[in-house]
Structure 1
Amino acid sequence: MLNFLNKTRQLLYPNVRNLSHTLTACQSNVTAESTTAATNNAASPKPALILPQNYAEYAPVNRNTARQAWIENVDAVAERKVGLMELHPDVFAAQPRVDIIQENIEWQRKYRYVSMAHTKTRAEVRGGGRKPWPQKGMGRARHGSIRSPLFKGGGVVHGPRSPTSHFYMLPFYKRVLGLTSTLSVKLAQDDLHIIENVEIPTRDAQFIKDLIQERNWGPSVLIIDKQDIFPENICYATDTLGYVNLMPAFGLNVYSMLKHDTLVLTVDAVKHLEERLLFQLHRNDASSKGAKFKLDQV
Protein backbone atom coordinates (compact mmCIF):
# COMPACT_ATOMS: atom_id res chain seq x y z
CA MET A 1 0.00 0.00 0.00
CA LEU A 2 2.83 2.39 0.83
CA ASN A 3 4.54 1.59 -2.44
CA PHE A 4 1.31 2.37 -4.31
CA LEU A 5 0.99 5.75 -2.59
CA ASN A 6 4.61 6.58 -3.37
CA LYS A 7 4.14 5.70 -7.01
CA THR A 8 0.96 7.82 -7.19
CA ARG A 9 2.78 10.75 -5.60
CA GLN A 10 5.59 10.49 -8.08
CA LEU A 11 3.14 10.39 -10.99
CA LEU A 12 1.24 13.47 -9.77
CA TYR A 13 4.25 15.45 -8.53
CA PRO A 14 7.31 14.15 -10.37
CA ASN A 15 9.49 17.13 -9.41
CA VAL A 16 8.53 17.26 -5.72
CA ARG A 17 9.92 14.78 -3.26
CA ASN A 18 7.42 15.42 -0.49
CA LEU A 19 3.77 16.50 -0.47
CA SER A 20 4.39 18.94 2.41
CA HIS A 21 6.81 20.87 0.17
CA THR A 22 4.02 21.14 -2.38
CA LEU A 23 1.61 22.63 0.14
CA THR A 24 4.26 25.08 1.32
CA ALA A 25 4.95 26.15 -2.25
CA CYS A 26 1.24 26.68 -2.94
CA GLN A 27 0.81 28.74 0.20
CA SER A 28 3.84 30.83 -0.74
CA ASN A 29 2.36 31.47 -4.21
CA VAL A 30 -0.99 32.50 -2.73
CA THR A 31 0.69 34.85 -0.27
CA ALA A 32 2.80 36.41 -3.01
CA GLU A 33 -0.25 36.91 -5.24
CA SER A 34 -2.26 38.53 -2.44
CA THR A 35 0.64 40.83 -1.59
CA THR A 36 1.00 41.84 -5.23
CA ALA A 37 -2.73 42.50 -5.52
CA ALA A 38 -2.72 44.64 -2.37
CA THR A 39 0.24 46.62 -3.69
CA ASN A 40 -1.49 47.18 -7.03
CA ASN A 41 -4.69 48.32 -5.28
CA ALA A 42 -2.75 50.75 -3.12
CA ALA A 43 -0.87 52.15 -6.09
CA SER A 44 -3.92 52.50 -8.32
CA PRO A 45 -6.09 55.61 -7.75
CA LYS A 46 -9.51 55.37 -6.16
CA PRO A 47 -12.41 54.90 -8.55
CA ALA A 48 -14.47 57.97 -9.33
CA LEU A 49 -17.24 58.63 -6.86
CA ILE A 50 -20.60 58.91 -8.60
CA LEU A 51 -23.54 60.09 -6.50
CA PRO A 52 -26.81 59.55 -8.40
CA GLN A 53 -29.98 61.41 -7.50
CA ASN A 54 -32.84 59.57 -5.82
CA TYR A 55 -36.09 60.58 -7.51
CA ALA A 56 -38.25 58.06 -5.63
CA GLU A 57 -39.40 60.44 -2.91
CA TYR A 58 -39.51 63.77 -4.77
CA ALA A 59 -40.04 63.43 -8.50
CA PRO A 60 -38.79 66.46 -10.46
CA VAL A 61 -41.13 68.62 -12.47
CA ASN A 62 -38.99 68.20 -15.58
CA ARG A 63 -36.55 65.29 -15.73
CA ASN A 64 -34.84 66.76 -18.80
CA THR A 65 -33.40 69.59 -16.73
CA ALA A 66 -31.23 67.32 -14.56
CA ARG A 67 -27.88 68.81 -13.62
CA GLN A 68 -24.53 67.30 -12.70
CA ALA A 69 -21.48 68.79 -11.00
CA TRP A 70 -17.93 67.63 -10.38
CA ILE A 71 -16.74 66.94 -6.85
CA GLU A 72 -13.35 68.56 -6.28
CA ASN A 73 -10.61 67.82 -3.78
CA VAL A 74 -9.25 70.20 -1.14
CA ASP A 75 -6.35 68.13 0.19
CA ALA A 76 -3.97 69.76 -2.31
CA VAL A 77 -3.76 72.94 -4.35
CA ALA A 78 -3.79 71.06 -7.66
CA GLU A 79 -7.33 70.45 -8.85
CA ARG A 80 -8.49 66.84 -9.06
CA LYS A 81 -11.94 65.55 -9.88
CA VAL A 82 -12.82 62.92 -7.30
CA GLY A 83 -16.38 62.24 -8.33
CA LEU A 84 -19.57 63.31 -10.04
CA MET A 85 -22.76 64.35 -8.29
CA GLU A 86 -26.22 64.56 -9.78
CA LEU A 87 -28.22 67.55 -8.57
CA HIS A 88 -31.97 67.70 -8.21
CA PRO A 89 -33.44 69.89 -10.97
CA ASP A 90 -36.11 71.40 -8.72
CA VAL A 91 -33.38 72.98 -6.58
CA PHE A 92 -30.47 73.58 -8.94
CA ALA A 93 -32.29 73.94 -12.27
CA ALA A 94 -35.27 76.09 -11.29
CA GLN A 95 -36.52 78.97 -13.36
CA PRO A 96 -34.45 82.00 -12.22
CA ARG A 97 -37.04 84.45 -10.93
CA VAL A 98 -35.07 87.69 -10.88
CA ASP A 99 -38.01 89.54 -9.35
CA ILE A 100 -38.13 87.16 -6.37
CA ILE A 101 -34.37 87.40 -5.94
CA GLN A 102 -34.67 91.20 -5.86
CA GLU A 103 -37.47 91.00 -3.28
CA ASN A 104 -35.31 88.77 -1.09
CA ILE A 105 -32.44 91.25 -1.32
CA GLU A 106 -34.64 94.19 -0.35
CA TRP A 107 -36.18 92.20 2.50
CA GLN A 108 -32.77 91.24 3.91
CA ARG A 109 -31.43 94.77 3.59
CA LYS A 110 -34.42 96.34 5.32
CA TYR A 111 -35.21 93.95 8.16
CA ARG A 112 -31.82 94.56 9.75
CA TYR A 113 -31.95 98.34 9.30
CA VAL A 114 -33.04 100.56 12.20
CA SER A 115 -33.40 104.29 11.57
CA MET A 116 -32.01 106.48 14.35
CA ALA A 117 -33.38 109.76 12.92
CA HIS A 118 -35.14 111.59 15.74
CA THR A 119 -36.89 114.96 16.15
CA LYS A 120 -38.24 116.61 19.29
CA THR A 121 -41.82 117.58 19.85
CA ARG A 122 -42.88 120.84 21.52
CA ALA A 123 -42.89 119.02 24.85
CA GLU A 124 -39.25 117.95 24.49
CA VAL A 125 -37.68 121.19 23.25
CA ARG A 126 -35.84 123.15 25.95
CA GLY A 127 -37.61 126.30 27.17
CA GLY A 128 -41.02 127.73 26.40
CA GLY A 129 -42.50 127.27 29.82
CA ARG A 130 -44.40 130.54 30.20
CA LYS A 131 -46.98 132.17 27.99
CA PRO A 132 -45.17 134.62 25.65
CA TRP A 133 -47.81 137.38 26.03
CA PRO A 134 -51.28 137.76 27.50
CA GLN A 135 -54.19 136.03 25.89
CA LYS A 136 -56.16 139.28 25.35
CA GLY A 137 -55.61 142.98 25.15
CA MET A 138 -52.52 143.22 22.91
CA GLY A 139 -54.08 142.46 19.57
CA ARG A 140 -51.69 139.62 18.96
CA ALA A 141 -52.37 136.03 18.09
CA ARG A 142 -53.12 133.61 20.89
CA HIS A 143 -50.01 131.50 21.80
CA GLY A 144 -49.19 129.47 24.85
CA SER A 145 -45.49 128.73 24.25
CA ILE A 146 -42.62 129.94 22.12
CA ARG A 147 -41.72 126.29 21.46
CA SER A 148 -44.85 125.79 19.39
CA PRO A 149 -44.19 124.36 15.90
CA LEU A 150 -45.22 127.79 14.56
CA PHE A 151 -42.16 129.43 16.14
CA LYS A 152 -38.56 129.28 15.05
CA GLY A 153 -36.73 126.86 17.34
CA GLY A 154 -39.94 125.14 18.29
CA GLY A 155 -40.90 121.49 18.12
CA VAL A 156 -41.44 119.41 14.98
CA VAL A 157 -44.79 117.92 14.05
CA HIS A 158 -44.91 114.37 12.64
CA GLY A 159 -41.13 114.15 12.43
CA PRO A 160 -39.13 110.89 12.53
CA ARG A 161 -38.91 109.19 15.90
CA SER A 162 -36.11 106.78 16.71
CA PRO A 163 -35.60 103.89 16.82
CA THR A 164 -37.68 103.07 13.76
CA SER A 165 -37.54 99.47 12.54
CA HIS A 166 -38.10 98.62 8.89
CA PHE A 167 -38.77 94.97 9.65
CA TYR A 168 -41.32 93.06 7.63
CA MET A 169 -41.60 89.40 6.80
CA LEU A 170 -41.44 88.19 3.22
CA PRO A 171 -43.95 85.44 2.34
CA PHE A 172 -42.63 81.97 3.07
CA TYR A 173 -42.53 80.59 -0.44
CA LYS A 174 -40.91 83.73 -1.81
CA ARG A 175 -38.05 82.96 0.55
CA VAL A 176 -37.93 79.33 -0.61
CA LEU A 177 -38.04 80.26 -4.30
CA GLY A 178 -35.39 82.89 -3.68
CA LEU A 179 -32.99 80.19 -2.50
CA THR A 180 -33.72 77.82 -5.41
CA SER A 181 -33.46 80.64 -7.95
CA THR A 182 -30.14 81.86 -6.59
CA LEU A 183 -28.66 78.35 -6.42
CA SER A 184 -29.76 77.74 -10.01
CA VAL A 185 -28.22 81.02 -11.17
CA LYS A 186 -24.93 80.26 -9.41
CA LEU A 187 -24.75 76.84 -11.06
CA ALA A 188 -25.66 78.19 -14.50
CA GLN A 189 -22.97 80.87 -14.25
CA ASP A 190 -20.34 78.29 -13.20
CA ASP A 191 -19.96 80.02 -9.85
CA LEU A 192 -20.99 76.99 -7.79
CA HIS A 193 -18.40 74.36 -6.84
CA ILE A 194 -18.76 71.16 -4.81
CA ILE A 195 -15.96 69.81 -2.64
CA GLU A 196 -15.57 66.58 -0.66
CA ASN A 197 -15.27 68.23 2.75
CA VAL A 198 -13.58 71.17 4.44
CA GLU A 199 -10.62 69.21 5.81
CA ILE A 200 -7.59 71.09 4.49
CA PRO A 201 -4.09 69.82 5.37
CA THR A 202 -2.73 73.04 6.88
CA ARG A 203 -3.85 76.12 8.74
CA ASP A 204 -1.70 78.45 6.63
CA ALA A 205 -3.70 81.19 4.89
CA GLN A 206 -1.41 80.94 1.85
CA PHE A 207 -2.88 77.51 1.11
CA ILE A 208 -6.35 79.03 0.72
CA LYS A 209 -4.96 81.83 -1.44
CA ASP A 210 -3.19 79.36 -3.74
CA LEU A 211 -6.30 77.17 -3.84
CA ILE A 212 -8.51 80.08 -4.91
CA GLN A 213 -6.02 81.21 -7.54
CA GLU A 214 -5.55 77.71 -8.94
CA ARG A 215 -9.28 76.98 -9.13
CA ASN A 216 -10.25 80.48 -10.40
CA TRP A 217 -12.79 80.86 -7.62
CA GLY A 218 -13.07 84.62 -7.95
CA PRO A 219 -12.29 87.53 -5.63
CA SER A 220 -14.70 86.46 -2.85
CA VAL A 221 -15.67 82.94 -1.73
CA LEU A 222 -18.44 81.63 0.52
CA ILE A 223 -17.83 78.09 1.85
CA ILE A 224 -20.88 76.18 3.10
CA ASP A 225 -20.86 73.03 5.22
CA LYS A 226 -23.71 71.13 6.84
CA GLN A 227 -22.45 71.60 10.42
CA ASP A 228 -21.90 74.89 12.20
CA ILE A 229 -18.60 73.70 13.71
CA PHE A 230 -15.81 73.81 11.14
CA PRO A 231 -12.43 72.06 11.37
CA GLU A 232 -9.61 73.91 13.09
CA ASN A 233 -7.36 74.22 10.04
CA ILE A 234 -9.85 75.99 7.79
CA CYS A 235 -10.91 78.31 10.61
CA TYR A 236 -7.33 79.46 11.17
CA ALA A 237 -6.62 79.67 7.43
CA THR A 238 -9.62 81.91 6.65
CA ASP A 239 -9.51 84.00 9.83
CA THR A 240 -7.31 86.70 8.30
CA LEU A 241 -8.93 86.60 4.84
CA GLY A 242 -11.81 89.03 4.67
CA TYR A 243 -12.95 87.77 1.28
CA VAL A 244 -13.37 84.13 2.37
CA ASN A 245 -16.25 83.37 4.71
CA LEU A 246 -17.57 80.19 6.33
CA MET A 247 -21.26 79.53 6.90
CA PRO A 248 -23.38 76.55 8.00
CA ALA A 249 -26.06 75.27 5.67
CA PHE A 250 -28.94 76.46 7.87
CA GLY A 251 -27.69 80.05 7.53
CA LEU A 252 -27.55 80.13 3.74
CA ASN A 253 -29.38 83.13 2.30
CA VAL A 254 -29.82 84.97 -0.98
CA TYR A 255 -27.95 88.12 0.07
CA SER A 256 -24.80 86.22 1.10
CA MET A 257 -24.79 84.12 -2.08
CA LEU A 258 -24.97 87.19 -4.31
CA LYS A 259 -22.50 89.14 -2.18
CA HIS A 260 -19.81 86.52 -2.88
CA ASP A 261 -18.64 85.71 -6.38
CA THR A 262 -18.11 81.98 -5.78
CA LEU A 263 -20.25 79.58 -3.78
CA VAL A 264 -18.48 76.42 -2.53
CA LEU A 265 -20.65 73.63 -1.09
CA THR A 266 -19.62 70.38 0.51
CA VAL A 267 -21.32 67.14 -0.48
CA ASP A 268 -23.11 66.97 2.88
CA ALA A 269 -24.30 70.56 2.49
CA VAL A 270 -25.74 69.84 -0.97
CA LYS A 271 -27.65 66.82 0.32
CA HIS A 272 -28.94 68.77 3.31
CA LEU A 273 -30.09 71.72 1.20
CA GLU A 274 -31.83 69.43 -1.28
CA GLU A 275 -33.57 67.58 1.52
CA ARG A 276 -34.86 70.71 3.24
CA LEU A 277 -35.87 72.66 0.12
CA LEU A 278 -37.60 69.68 -1.50
CA PHE A 279 -39.52 69.07 1.70
CA GLN A 280 -40.77 72.67 1.70
CA LEU A 281 -41.67 72.52 -1.99
CA HIS A 282 -43.70 69.31 -1.57
CA ARG A 283 -45.16 69.65 1.93
CA ASN A 284 -48.85 68.88 2.40
CA ASP A 285 -49.65 71.90 4.57
CA ALA A 286 -48.22 74.44 2.15
CA SER A 287 -51.37 76.58 2.33
CA SER A 288 -50.87 77.17 6.06
CA LYS A 289 -47.39 78.55 5.42
CA GLY A 290 -48.88 81.26 3.23
CA ALA A 291 -50.79 82.81 6.12
CA LYS A 292 -49.86 86.17 7.59
CA PHE A 293 -46.67 86.10 9.58
CA LYS A 294 -46.93 86.19 13.37
CA LEU A 295 -44.08 86.76 15.75
CA ASP A 296 -45.15 83.85 17.97
CA GLN A 297 -45.44 81.31 15.17
CA VAL A 298 -43.12 78.30 15.23
Structure 2
Amino acid sequence: MFRISVTVCGRGISKRKRTSFSGENALPSNLRIPSNLVDHARRPPPPSDSSLPVLGRCDAVVPVHQSPVQTWVEKLERRDSKLLGLVDLHPDVFAVPTRRFAVSVSVVSRAWRRYQETGQYIRRRGGGQQPSSRTATSAFVQGGNKLHNFCFAGGVSHGPRGPTSFYYMFPMKVRVQGLKIALSSKLAQDYLHVVDTLNIPTPDPQGDDLKTVNVIPGIGLNIHSMLKHEVLVLTLEAVKFLENKLLWHDERFTPLYPFKLTCLEGTG
Protein backbone atom coordinates (compact mmCIF):
# COMPACT_ATOMS: atom_id res chain seq x y z
CA MET A 1 0.00 0.00 0.00
CA PHE A 2 2.80 2.37 0.78
CA ARG A 3 4.50 1.71 -2.54
CA ILE A 4 1.30 2.32 -4.47
CA SER A 5 0.74 5.71 -2.87
CA VAL A 6 4.32 6.77 -3.54
CA THR A 7 3.99 5.71 -7.15
CA VAL A 8 0.81 7.69 -7.66
CA CYS A 9 2.29 10.79 -6.08
CA GLY A 10 5.43 10.39 -8.13
CA ARG A 11 3.44 10.22 -11.33
CA GLY A 12 1.58 13.37 -10.42
CA ILE A 13 4.80 15.24 -9.64
CA SER A 14 6.50 14.09 -12.81
CA LYS A 15 3.48 15.04 -14.88
CA ARG A 16 3.34 18.44 -13.24
CA LYS A 17 7.03 19.03 -13.90
CA ARG A 18 6.76 17.88 -17.48
CA THR A 19 3.86 20.24 -18.10
CA SER A 20 5.63 23.23 -16.59
CA PHE A 21 8.92 22.70 -18.40
CA SER A 22 7.36 21.86 -21.75
CA GLY A 23 6.20 25.46 -22.25
CA GLU A 24 2.47 24.71 -22.32
CA ASN A 25 0.01 27.27 -21.00
CA ALA A 26 -1.04 26.59 -17.46
CA LEU A 27 -4.47 28.21 -17.93
CA PRO A 28 -7.19 26.34 -19.83
CA SER A 29 -8.58 27.74 -23.05
CA ASN A 30 -11.74 29.12 -21.43
CA LEU A 31 -9.68 31.25 -19.00
CA ARG A 32 -7.29 32.79 -21.53
CA ILE A 33 -7.88 36.42 -22.50
CA PRO A 34 -8.48 36.90 -26.23
CA SER A 35 -5.90 38.91 -28.10
CA ASN A 36 -8.41 41.63 -29.05
CA LEU A 37 -9.23 42.30 -25.39
CA VAL A 38 -5.65 42.77 -24.19
CA ASP A 39 -4.81 46.35 -23.24
CA HIS A 40 -2.63 48.28 -25.62
CA ALA A 41 0.92 49.20 -24.75
CA ARG A 42 0.68 52.07 -22.32
CA ARG A 43 2.95 55.05 -22.39
CA PRO A 44 5.51 55.29 -19.61
CA PRO A 45 4.64 57.88 -16.96
CA PRO A 46 6.59 61.13 -16.99
CA PRO A 47 9.83 60.82 -15.00
CA SER A 48 10.49 63.14 -12.11
CA ASP A 49 13.72 64.46 -13.67
CA SER A 50 12.36 65.08 -17.16
CA SER A 51 14.07 67.80 -19.18
CA LEU A 52 10.88 68.77 -21.03
CA PRO A 53 9.28 72.07 -20.00
CA VAL A 54 6.06 72.25 -17.99
CA LEU A 55 3.56 73.94 -20.31
CA GLY A 56 0.69 74.12 -17.84
CA ARG A 57 0.41 74.44 -14.08
CA CYS A 58 -2.49 74.32 -11.65
CA ASP A 59 -4.09 77.69 -11.04
CA ALA A 60 -5.86 76.47 -7.91
CA VAL A 61 -4.04 75.77 -4.68
CA VAL A 62 -2.96 72.14 -4.29
CA PRO A 63 -3.37 70.70 -0.76
CA VAL A 64 -0.21 70.14 1.22
CA HIS A 65 -0.71 66.39 1.53
CA GLN A 66 -1.13 66.00 -2.25
CA SER A 67 0.98 66.70 -5.31
CA PRO A 68 0.01 67.57 -8.90
CA VAL A 69 -0.40 64.75 -11.40
CA GLN A 70 1.72 65.09 -14.52
CA THR A 71 1.02 63.85 -18.01
CA TRP A 72 2.45 64.40 -21.48
CA VAL A 73 1.50 67.21 -23.87
CA GLU A 74 1.33 65.96 -27.45
CA LYS A 75 0.62 67.29 -30.92
CA LEU A 76 -2.33 66.26 -33.02
CA GLU A 77 -0.55 66.36 -36.38
CA ARG A 78 0.96 62.88 -36.36
CA ARG A 79 0.57 59.79 -34.26
CA ASP A 80 4.32 59.45 -33.66
CA SER A 81 4.96 63.16 -33.12
CA LYS A 82 7.40 64.30 -30.49
CA LEU A 83 6.26 65.21 -27.02
CA LEU A 84 6.09 68.94 -26.43
CA GLY A 85 6.30 68.93 -22.66
CA LEU A 86 4.40 68.22 -19.46
CA VAL A 87 1.29 69.57 -17.79
CA ASP A 88 0.39 69.59 -14.11
CA LEU A 89 -3.11 68.33 -13.34
CA HIS A 90 -4.92 69.05 -10.10
CA PRO A 91 -5.24 65.89 -7.95
CA ASP A 92 -8.77 66.80 -6.80
CA VAL A 93 -9.95 66.57 -10.41
CA PHE A 94 -7.75 63.98 -12.14
CA ALA A 95 -6.79 61.74 -9.20
CA VAL A 96 -10.09 61.10 -7.42
CA PRO A 97 -10.90 57.67 -5.92
CA THR A 98 -13.43 55.70 -7.92
CA ARG A 99 -17.05 55.55 -6.81
CA ARG A 100 -19.30 53.69 -9.21
CA PHE A 101 -22.45 55.14 -7.69
CA ALA A 102 -21.65 58.69 -8.77
CA VAL A 103 -21.08 57.52 -12.35
CA SER A 104 -24.03 55.15 -12.61
CA VAL A 105 -26.63 57.62 -11.35
CA SER A 106 -25.72 60.04 -14.12
CA VAL A 107 -26.15 57.38 -16.79
CA VAL A 108 -29.42 56.10 -15.32
CA SER A 109 -30.94 59.56 -14.98
CA ARG A 110 -30.02 60.30 -18.59
CA ALA A 111 -31.65 57.08 -19.78
CA TRP A 112 -34.97 58.08 -18.21
CA ARG A 113 -35.25 60.80 -20.86
CA ARG A 114 -35.97 58.19 -23.51
CA TYR A 115 -38.40 56.26 -21.33
CA GLN A 116 -41.43 55.40 -23.45
CA GLU A 117 -44.93 54.89 -22.22
CA THR A 118 -46.09 51.34 -21.67
CA GLY A 119 -48.73 49.71 -23.82
CA GLN A 120 -52.13 49.57 -22.18
CA TYR A 121 -54.84 47.00 -22.55
CA ILE A 122 -57.10 49.25 -24.57
CA ARG A 123 -54.36 49.82 -27.18
CA ARG A 124 -53.68 46.14 -27.83
CA ARG A 125 -54.87 44.45 -30.97
CA GLY A 126 -57.85 42.12 -30.77
CA GLY A 127 -61.57 42.06 -30.25
CA GLY A 128 -63.87 41.01 -27.48
CA GLN A 129 -63.72 37.27 -28.14
CA GLN A 130 -62.36 35.23 -25.27
CA PRO A 131 -59.19 33.20 -25.93
CA SER A 132 -60.66 30.04 -24.42
CA SER A 133 -63.96 28.70 -23.24
CA ARG A 134 -65.29 29.53 -19.83
CA THR A 135 -65.38 25.88 -18.81
CA ALA A 136 -61.68 25.31 -19.53
CA THR A 137 -60.29 27.61 -16.89
CA SER A 138 -61.61 30.48 -14.86
CA ALA A 139 -58.55 32.67 -15.60
CA PHE A 140 -59.90 33.93 -18.93
CA VAL A 141 -63.36 34.88 -17.82
CA GLN A 142 -62.32 38.44 -17.12
CA GLY A 143 -61.42 39.53 -20.66
CA GLY A 144 -61.19 38.95 -24.37
CA ASN A 145 -58.39 37.87 -26.68
CA LYS A 146 -56.31 40.96 -25.95
CA LEU A 147 -53.12 40.37 -24.02
CA HIS A 148 -53.63 40.94 -20.33
CA ASN A 149 -51.08 42.13 -17.85
CA PHE A 150 -50.48 38.56 -16.69
CA CYS A 151 -49.44 37.51 -20.23
CA PHE A 152 -46.05 38.07 -21.81
CA ALA A 153 -45.87 41.44 -23.58
CA GLY A 154 -49.39 42.18 -22.47
CA GLY A 155 -51.04 45.41 -21.50
CA VAL A 156 -49.92 47.17 -18.33
CA SER A 157 -52.45 48.62 -15.94
CA HIS A 158 -51.78 52.16 -14.71
CA GLY A 159 -48.43 52.30 -16.50
CA PRO A 160 -46.55 55.51 -17.32
CA ARG A 161 -48.12 57.60 -20.07
CA GLY A 162 -46.97 60.67 -21.91
CA PRO A 163 -46.42 63.56 -21.80
CA THR A 164 -45.31 63.03 -18.19
CA SER A 165 -41.51 63.35 -17.95
CA PHE A 166 -39.66 60.85 -15.78
CA TYR A 167 -36.33 62.64 -16.08
CA TYR A 168 -34.79 63.59 -12.77
CA MET A 169 -31.52 65.21 -11.73
CA PHE A 170 -29.26 64.35 -8.84
CA PRO A 171 -27.62 67.03 -6.68
CA MET A 172 -24.88 69.06 -8.26
CA LYS A 173 -22.31 67.65 -5.85
CA VAL A 174 -22.99 64.11 -7.08
CA ARG A 175 -22.80 65.12 -10.75
CA VAL A 176 -19.54 66.99 -10.22
CA GLN A 177 -18.13 63.99 -8.39
CA GLY A 178 -19.08 61.77 -11.32
CA LEU A 179 -17.23 64.03 -13.77
CA LYS A 180 -14.11 63.95 -11.60
CA ILE A 181 -14.22 60.17 -11.34
CA ALA A 182 -14.63 59.79 -15.11
CA LEU A 183 -11.66 62.09 -15.79
CA SER A 184 -9.53 60.28 -13.21
CA SER A 185 -10.40 56.89 -14.72
CA LYS A 186 -9.44 58.04 -18.21
CA LEU A 187 -6.09 59.29 -16.94
CA ALA A 188 -5.40 56.10 -14.96
CA GLN A 189 -6.20 53.93 -18.00
CA ASP A 190 -3.97 56.06 -20.27
CA TYR A 191 -6.96 57.09 -22.37
CA LEU A 192 -6.56 60.82 -21.63
CA HIS A 193 -4.43 62.80 -24.08
CA VAL A 194 -3.58 66.48 -23.68
CA VAL A 195 -2.68 68.41 -26.84
CA ASP A 196 -1.59 71.98 -27.40
CA THR A 197 -4.26 72.76 -30.00
CA LEU A 198 -6.85 71.02 -32.16
CA ASN A 199 -5.89 72.91 -35.30
CA ILE A 200 -4.68 70.61 -38.08
CA PRO A 201 -2.62 72.44 -40.74
CA THR A 202 -3.35 70.01 -43.58
CA PRO A 203 -6.96 68.79 -43.60
CA ASP A 204 -7.47 65.25 -44.83
CA PRO A 205 -10.74 64.52 -46.68
CA GLN A 206 -10.77 61.02 -45.21
CA GLY A 207 -11.47 62.48 -41.80
CA ASP A 208 -14.57 64.43 -42.82
CA ASP A 209 -16.99 61.52 -42.37
CA LEU A 210 -15.58 59.99 -39.20
CA LYS A 211 -18.47 58.73 -37.08
CA THR A 212 -16.38 57.72 -34.07
CA VAL A 213 -15.02 61.21 -33.33
CA ASN A 214 -17.09 63.92 -31.68
CA VAL A 215 -15.87 67.44 -30.95
CA ILE A 216 -17.68 69.10 -28.05
CA PRO A 217 -16.91 72.28 -26.08
CA GLY A 218 -15.58 72.09 -22.56
CA ILE A 219 -18.86 73.25 -21.06
CA GLY A 220 -20.67 70.34 -22.76
CA LEU A 221 -18.46 67.57 -21.39
CA ASN A 222 -20.57 64.85 -19.75
CA ILE A 223 -20.13 61.39 -18.28
CA HIS A 224 -22.19 59.67 -20.97
CA SER A 225 -19.91 60.88 -23.76
CA MET A 226 -16.77 59.89 -21.85
CA LEU A 227 -18.11 56.38 -21.26
CA LYS A 228 -19.26 56.04 -24.86
CA HIS A 229 -15.87 56.94 -26.34
CA GLU A 230 -12.65 55.20 -25.44
CA VAL A 231 -10.16 58.07 -25.78
CA LEU A 232 -10.58 61.61 -24.46
CA VAL A 233 -8.49 64.41 -25.98
CA LEU A 234 -8.27 67.73 -24.12
CA THR A 235 -6.48 70.94 -24.96
CA LEU A 236 -4.50 72.95 -22.43
CA GLU A 237 -7.27 75.55 -22.30
CA ALA A 238 -9.88 72.84 -21.72
CA VAL A 239 -7.86 71.43 -18.81
CA LYS A 240 -7.76 74.82 -17.09
CA PHE A 241 -11.45 75.40 -17.77
CA LEU A 242 -12.47 72.04 -16.26
CA GLU A 243 -10.27 72.50 -13.21
CA ASN A 244 -11.66 75.95 -12.46
CA LYS A 245 -15.28 74.91 -12.93
CA LEU A 246 -15.12 71.64 -10.99
CA LEU A 247 -13.05 73.01 -8.12
CA TRP A 248 -15.39 75.97 -7.75
CA HIS A 249 -18.17 73.61 -6.65
CA ASP A 250 -16.00 72.36 -3.78
CA GLU A 251 -15.64 75.87 -2.36
CA ARG A 252 -19.01 77.48 -3.00
CA PHE A 253 -21.30 78.21 -0.06
CA THR A 254 -24.42 79.43 -1.87
CA PRO A 255 -26.85 77.13 -3.71
CA LEU A 256 -27.02 77.27 -7.47
CA TYR A 257 -30.80 77.55 -7.53
CA PRO A 258 -33.08 79.45 -5.12
CA PHE A 259 -34.57 77.27 -2.43
CA LYS A 260 -38.37 77.15 -2.28
CA LEU A 261 -40.12 75.62 0.71
CA THR A 262 -43.19 73.64 -0.30
CA CYS A 263 -46.34 74.46 1.63
CA LEU A 264 -47.38 71.35 3.53
CA GLU A 265 -50.28 72.88 5.48
CA GLY A 266 -53.74 71.54 4.79
CA THR A 267 -56.63 73.59 3.55
CA GLY A 268 -58.93 72.54 6.37
Given the two structures, how large is their TM-score scaled by the length of structure 1?
A: 0.55
Write the deviation string for residues 167-224 of structure 1: whole angstroms up to 9, x where unpaired.
1111211100000111011111111000011101222154xxxxxxxxxxxxxxxxxx
Q: Where does structure 1 differ by over 6 angstroms across 4 or more consecutive aligned residues?
A: 124-128, 154-157, 288-292
Q: In 2, distance between residues paired with 1:197 and 1:277?
A: 22
For residue 171 of structure 2, what is the aligned residue in structure 1?
Answer: 171
For residue 152 of structure 1, what is the aligned residue in structure 2?
Answer: 144
Counterpart of 2:118 in 1: which secondary structure? Answer: coil
Return the match for 1:99 from 98, 101, 108: 101
Counterpart of 2:227 in 1: which secondary structure? Answer: helix
Q: In 1, distance between residues paired with 2:194 and 2:205?
A: 21
Q: How does 1:44-55 map to 2 (within 5 A)?
A: 48-54=53-59
Q: In 2, distance between residues paired with 1:291 and 1:153?
A: 52
For residue 24 of structure 2, what is the aligned residue in structure 1?
Answer: none
Letter of the 1:244 partner, please give it.
V
Letter of the 1:113 partner, please give it.
R
For residue 83 of structure 2, what is the aligned residue in structure 1?
Answer: 81
Given the two structures, how large is their TM-score scaled by the length of structure 2?
A: 0.61
Alignment check: 8 A CA contact 2:58 2:240 kept = no
Counterpart of 1:103 in 2: which secondary structure? Answer: helix
CA drift of 1:75 comes to 3.0
Q: How does 1:115-194 map to 2 (within 5 A)?
A: 115-119=116-120, 150-152=142-144, 158-163=157-162, 165-194=165-194
Matched, 1:263 2:232: yes
Q: Judging changes above 3 Å, is the alpha-carbon distance between structure 1 residues 177 and 291 closer, same or farther for their aligned structure 2 residues?
A: farther
Q: In 1, distance between residues paired with 2:188 and 2:259?
A: 33
For residue 277 of structure 1, what is the aligned residue in structure 2?
Answer: 246
Alignment check: 8 A CA contact 1:69 1:86 kept = yes
CA drift of 1:157 comes to 7.8
Q: In 1, distance between residues paired with 2:219 and 2:63?
A: 25
Larger Rg: 1
Counterpart of 1:244 in 2: which secondary structure? Answer: coil
Aligned residues with identical type, % of pairs = 35
Letter of the 1:202 partner, please give it.
T
Letter of the 2:55 partner, please give it.
I
The structure that is helix-richer by fraction is: 1
Q: In 2, distance between residues paired with 1:62 and 1:181?
A: 21
CA RMSD of aligned residues (A): 3.4
Q: Judging changes above 3 Å, is the alpha-carbon distance between structure 1 residues 150 and 259 closer, same or farther for their aligned structure 2 residues?
A: same
Please list every run of 5 or more consecutive structure 1 residues that lacks an aligned counterpart in the other structure: 1-46, 129-148, 207-236
For residue 69 of structure 2, what is the aligned residue in structure 1?
Answer: 67
The structure that is strand-richer by fraction is: 1
CA drift of 1:104 comes to 1.6
For residue 266 of structure 2, what is the aligned residue in structure 1?
Answer: none
The count of corresponding residues between Structure 1 and Structure 2 is 191
Q: In 2, distance between residues paired with 1:282 and 1:64?
A: 18
Alignment check: 8 A CA contact 1:171 1:290 kept = no
